[in-house]
Amino acid sequence: MVEHERFESFLESLPDCLPKHLVDLELENIKEGIPIIRKGGERLIRFMLELKKPVNILEVGTATGFSALFMLEFVCEKAKITTIERMEERVVKAEDNFKKYDKNGQITLIKGDAQDVLSELVANGNEYDFIFMDAAKGQYINFFENIKKLLSHGGILVTDNMLQEGRLLDSRYTVVRRERTIHQRMREYVNVLATDKELETMFLETGDGMAVSVKKLIRMED
């Protein structure tokens, strides 16, 4: 069996032909210690975008805008990306990056806590055919019902950081006290994804663990 870290290093060594501004942004974020999508995650996302060809995309967790600008490279000109971030300083940086690199104005940044923003998006009747969930892991379970409402039938939900650097797999009895709540919430989220009747989900080791869920189409007999 190939070790996970070795495989991730292998993925990192592969040429990805990204434009210079993304290479620079990625390095800048890494240098500043801002957590952004890993190389394995990038591979999965660009593959899923090519497969699904979404037009309405939602991202929960913008940081400084790297992943939104990354997704922009792999969608069509009429695609719109809505992304949510709550940290003021990251919002400022992301806005600046979008001004520079989103020349056609395809990205909309919503500043605020995703819990509130998602409820508003639901109330306004929004729907997305691709959702990238990449915010505070412990809150995924709270976002889930709204995320499901916002996802169109046939739409894809990609969730990042599922593995919590491997801790998700540990027994709850061995998890240190300060990690217990998040461990329990992530386990809950995994169970919900695995059992929800409206979704079909695959769990992958890629990056820090990713889940790819598809919302089932409505069948005639349903």
Choose, by CB under 6 A, the member of 66, 98, 128, 130 that binds ligand SAM: 66
Tokens, residue 217? 């189409």
114 interacts with ligand SAM by CB under 6 A: yes
Q: Which helix (H) or strand (E) holds 212?
A: strand 210-215
How many residues of this chain bind ligand SAM (CB under 6 A)? 19
Angle at 28 between CA 24 and CA 33, to 5 degrees: 150
Residue 145 or 200: the one with the smaller Cβ distance to ligand SAM is: 145
- On the CB side of 31, CA atoms within 13 Å amount to 6
118 interacts with ligand SAM by CB under 6 A: no
Choose, by CB under 6 A, the member of 22, 48, 63, 141 that binds ligand SAM: 63
Tokens, residue 2? 């190939």
Helix axes 4-13, 39-52, angle to 10 degrees: 70
Q: How far is the CB of 106 from ligand SAM (least distance, A)?
A: 16
Q: How far is the CB of 10 from ligand SAM (least distance, A)?
A: 21
Residue 129 or 134: the one with the smaller Cβ distance to ligand SAM is: 134
Residue written as token pair 């806590």? 113
Interactions with ligand SAM, residue window 38-57 (CB under 6 A): none
136 interacts with ligand SAM by CB under 6 A: yes
Residue 87 or 122: the one with the smaller Cβ distance to ligand SAM is: 87
151 interacts with ligand SAM by CB under 6 A: no
134 interacts with ligand SAM by CB under 6 A: yes
d(CA 11, CA 8): 5
Residue written as token pair 């890629």? 206
137 interacts with ligand SAM by CB under 6 A: no
Instruction: Sort strands 210-215 and 151-159 into parallel, antiparallel or unpaired.
Output: antiparallel
Q: Is 152 helix (H, G, I), strand (E, B) or coil?
A: strand
Rounded to the nearest 5 percent, the helix, strand and coil shares of the chain are: 45, 20, 35
Q: Is 125 helix (H, G, I), strand (E, B) or coil?
A: coil
16 interacts with ligand SAM by CB under 6 A: no
210 interacts with ligand SAM by CB under 6 A: no
Choose, by CB under 6 A, the member of 39, 90, 148, 183 that binds ligand SAM: 90
Q: Which residues bind ligand SAM (CB under 6 A)?
A: 35-37, 61, 63, 66-67, 84-87, 90, 113-115, 134-136, 139
